[in-house]
Chain A
Amino acid sequence: MMRKLAWLAVAAIAVIGAGTANAQQTPRKGGTLRMTAPYAASFGSLDPHVTPRAQDDIVGKALQRSLYNWDTAANKLSLELAKSVSVSADGLTYTYKLRDDAFFHNGRKMTADDVIFSFTRIMDGSKGYPGARYVRLIKGAVDVEKGTAKEIAGLKKIDDFTLEMTITDRVDPGYYFFGGSTAILPKEEVEKGNYASNPVGLGPFKFKEHIPGSRVSMERFDKFYKTGQPYLDKLEVLIMAEAAARDVAFRNKEIDTSILGPAQYVAYRADPQLSKGILEVAEMFTRSMHMNLGSIKPFQDKRVRQAINYAIDSNLIISRLVKDKAYRATSWLPPSSAAFDKTMKPYPYDPEKAKKLLAEAGYPNGFEFEWTTSQNESWGLPIVEAVIPMLARVGIKAKPKLVEVTVLTELLMKGDHQALIASSLTGPDSLATLRCYYSKTPRTACNYTGFNNADFDKLLDDAAQEGDMAKRDEILKKANNLLYDEAPVWFFNYNKAVLAFQPWVHGLQPNPTEITHQYPENIWVDASSPAK
């Protein structure tokens, strides 16, 4: 396992190294980049407040900007629309010095009014804007949502470029305001009523054309606030939901980037040319089997849950079935998390120990449970079918129950399952991620296993009170380790996202929050690009 971890570190360094090597070359101005949007056959909306979808945020990163962004090189959040921020002693009031050089694509300069307008719009109680879950952090936002106030009390304009924000919890607001669903939009354009058809943002590219179901075309915004950027003249985001079709198009040089699935990953790695253009990153998604602690008695015993982790040869499944397009999960938090404990070791494959633990727990002959799964190739039925004989070897009989992927979340929220395999977003906010196991977090929010542990709760309470982020991470590390020991899930893997790119593309970022979410102002193409 140490070899695996070492390999993981080497891979990460290699990726960052590749990025650095790219950065050392002089970026070329001009050219067109043809990215792909692989998660659906259409975009939901080009109004970022309407949609929380990863597919839509691919375009959003080019058209829109939020208060913060994810700095991949530094592996942390950084200010985007503000030049600096100061925090009050109680850690609840943030004063932002906004950029005075950020222009919307209609030529107007962004001011504090735009931030206030955008956040107030998101809290409109008559709409279900997904970003409300983040803006609710601001004091008084809930009152706007309920309709008892028209303005968010916690947002105060000091002057055009100074904004004071008072929040209700001692958390880093960066985690709340870096996504597309909290992008800053111009009021006058939104009020025209056709914003989704003609989005105007603060991003490095301005909207040119949207052919629903086919592509979004954008062109360089010359007044973008980062000097000299973007490099590209044009950016096209092409919808390509079929992996096989993407493969042909990529090999035919019709697209410049492509997400790879397990089968293609093997083929591309084996190809001497294609293997030179592969970007890999451990994304912040943890694949696991959630054990519903309230469903059957055996799952209430920690030893049983640990036994399941010992009984499954996860490494074998990852190498044979997932074709190494995943990293072995060594805890709930992913390796890119600041609270990830690098000394942690995953549960080894040890069926004898599993049997011993089951016997100690009073189940020497095992037990039976129903395992709900989707057909997903990386964390669905193929994995369940591989695990069933492993569990059978220690006496546990798992009966698979197949449902459509859309139904999984609903079952998790209702608790209408005994065990369920799924992929969960586990970053970048470690505190919010671990709160999914806080006893007071309802199942509908994300405590899908019904986990309840006083020691864990105490650690999370302490972390929430800790103002020093480094100390907070240390506490969260302990909580994560405790969770690993308690094993409310079978810790399977972290997604290894793989992006294939053409040799003329430079400046791609191994973004662990979502590899398709590229900040396109950093990307450039050299003269060998065939795209006009």
Chain B
Amino acid sequence: MLLVLGRRLANIIPTMLAVVALVFLLFSVLPGSFISGMNEDGRSTIDPAVMERMRKEMGLDDPLVERFAKYVAATATGDLGTSFRTREPVTKMLAVRIWPSLKLVLAAMTFAILVGVTLGFLAALKPGSLIDTAAMVGAISGLSLSQFWFGLMLMYLFALKLQWLPSFGYGDGGLRNLILPAVALGVGPMALLARTTRAAVLDVLNADFVRTARSKGMSERRVVEWHVLRNALVLVITIVGLQFGSLMGQAVVVEKLFAWPGVGSLMVDSVFQRDMPTVQGCILMIVLFFLVINTLVDLAYVVIDPRIRYR
């Protein structure tokens, strides 16, 4: 197990390096610069002399290779650079954004797992029933919903009409402000999990070893608990892991809509304003999160199904 963990962690380093190189290169060829982004749709004017000073201060006039080398060297020491926009260390900016993001992603995933896995499981146990049809209609709708539109509908219903919850903002960081963005973000993974769970459980229900268990006279409840659930979980956990890992990156739309102060909204703002160090920092954070979650999922396989071994 430790060997597996060591190998997985070692893989993270080249992946991160590749991501750093790709992002750096992309932003180098992208038209527009931080300084032109300061124009704010014509709201501000930029003085050429100030522009020149800014370029110098931010090292934008240095050759690309030199800038990249400096960036990689600094990143290796945990220094993600200084934001062009705020002139604060990117690590400091990320530090205040990471917890709201994690909170949102965790809440969204909790919602997705609780609702999605339950629905999928119930649907698989009674295929063709009303609950199966309803669950799958819900799942397909959930997969095709736009987060933006669904979020607005949630706001409209639960904030404006029912007055149960606040429509936006972080508030005191409590549950009341978290529910709507978490549901808006979690509806997609929920739908995917419902479909996957249904397919996985149906697959296992028809497997030979389940038939054997039943023929031995094992109760249906015991069959489900001992054989079906455990075996179906491997596929479900794969989807949970993938969704969980990518959810932080997907949260951009929801964070902006609900004015949730996470990494996603910081990233989208920084992209529009070409604040390259911050964008790189956000992407690195999201990729790291994805890789860590996937490593944890790999380890979880071994725990759930001892037949799985990594070479």
A residues with CB within 8 A of B = 39-42, 44-45, 47, 50-55, 125-130, 132-133, 136, 145, 196, 211-215, 238-242, 244-245, 248-249, 251-252, 254, 285, 376, 403-410, 413, 422-425, 442, 444-446, 514
Contacts and interface: CB of A to CB of B under 8 A. Distances in A.
Contacts of A130: 38, 44, 46-47, 50
B269 interface: yes
B41 A214 contact: no
Interface string B160-187: 1001001111100000000000000000
B256 A133 contact: no
Contact of A133 (B43, B50, B96): B50
Contact of A213 (B39, B49, B262): B262
B228 to A, nearest CB: 43
21 contacts: A42-B265, A44-B85, A45-B88, A51-B85, A52-B38, A54-B40, A132-B47, A133-B49, A196-B87, A211-B261, A214-B169, A214-B259, A239-B259, A244-B152, A245-B168, A245-B258, A248-B159, A254-B167, A406-B36, A408-B39, A410-B31
Given A51-B85, A214-B170, 14 more contacts: A54-B43, A130-B44, A133-B47, A239-B261, A240-B259, A241-B256, A242-B257, A245-B257, A245-B258, A248-B159, A252-B167, A254-B159, A410-B31, A445-B47
Contacts of B37: 406
Contacts of A50: 86-87
A394 B31 CA distance: 34
Interface stretch (B11-19, B54-62, B217-225): B54-62
Contacts of B274: 406
A241 B88 CA distance: 22
Interface in B16-53: 31-33, 36-51, 53
A132 B48 CA distance: 11
Contacts of B31: 403-404, 407, 410
Given A52-B44, A54-B43, A128-B50, A212 B97 contact: yes
Contacts of B57: 126-128
Contacts of A249: 155, 159, 167-168
B156 interface: yes
Contacts of A408: 36, 39
Contacts of A248: 152, 155-156, 159-160, 167-168
Contacts of A52: 38, 44, 46
Contacts of B255: 41, 213
Contact of A128 (B40, B56, B160, B269): B56
B161 to A, nearest CB: 9
Contact of A285 (B42, B85, B88): B42
Contacts of B38: 52-53, 130
A39 B40 contact: yes
A132 B49 contact: yes
A406 B42 CA distance: 10
A40 B274 CA distance: 13
Contact of A40 (B100, B168, B262, B269): B269
Nearest to B85: A44
Q: Which of B38, B168, B274 has the most CB of A within 10 A?
A: B168
B273 interface: yes
Nearest to B155: A248
Interface string B245-276: 00000000001111111100110110011100
Contacts of A41: 255-256, 259, 265-266, 268-269
B302 interface: no
A240 B43 contact: no
A109 to B, nearest CB: 29
Nearest to A55: B40
A241 B266 CA distance: 12
Contacts of A423: 41-43
Contacts of A239: 259, 261
A422 B45 CA distance: 12
Interface of B: 31-33, 36-51, 53-58, 85-88, 93, 96-97, 100, 152, 155-156, 159-160, 163, 166-170, 255-262, 265-266, 268-269, 272-274
For the complex of A and B, 9 pairs with smallest distance between CB atoms: A213-B261, A128-B54, A423-B42, A133-B47, A406-B32, A128-B53, A410-B36, A214-B170, A409-B39
A240 B168 contact: yes
Contacts of A241: 256, 259, 269
Nearest to B96: A212
A252 B160 CA distance: 5
A249 B151 CA distance: 13
A53 to B, nearest CB: 6
A406 B34 CA distance: 8
A245 B170 contact: no
A468 B105 CA distance: 63
A51 B49 CA distance: 16
Contacts of A245: 152, 155, 167-168, 257-259
A406 B44 CA distance: 12
Contacts of B170: 211, 213-215
A53 B44 contact: yes
A245 B149 CA distance: 11
A413 B36 contact: yes
A514 B152 contact: no
Nearest to A442: B48
A406 B86 contact: no
Contacts of A54: 40, 43-44
A442 B52 CA distance: 14
A132 B93 CA distance: 26
B41 A254 contact: no
Q: Which of A54, A249, A251, A408 has the most CB of B within 10 A?
A: A249
Nearest to A436: B45
A406 B155 CA distance: 31
Nearest to B271: A406
Contact of B168 (A211, A254, A406): A254
B149 to A, nearest CB: 9
Given A245-B168, A249-B167, A514 B43 contact: yes
Contacts of A240: 168, 259
Contacts of A410: 31-33, 36
Given A127-B57, A239-B259, A252-B160, A45 B40 contact: no
B54 A213 contact: no
B172 to A, nearest CB: 10
A254 B159 CA distance: 10
A38 B36 CA distance: 20
Contacts of B262: 213
Contacts of B269: 40-42, 241
A196 B86 contact: yes
Nearest to A514: B43
A106 B115 CA distance: 52
Contact of B41 (A126, A251, A405): A405
A339 B297 CA distance: 68
A52 B85 CA distance: 10
A113 B152 CA distance: 51
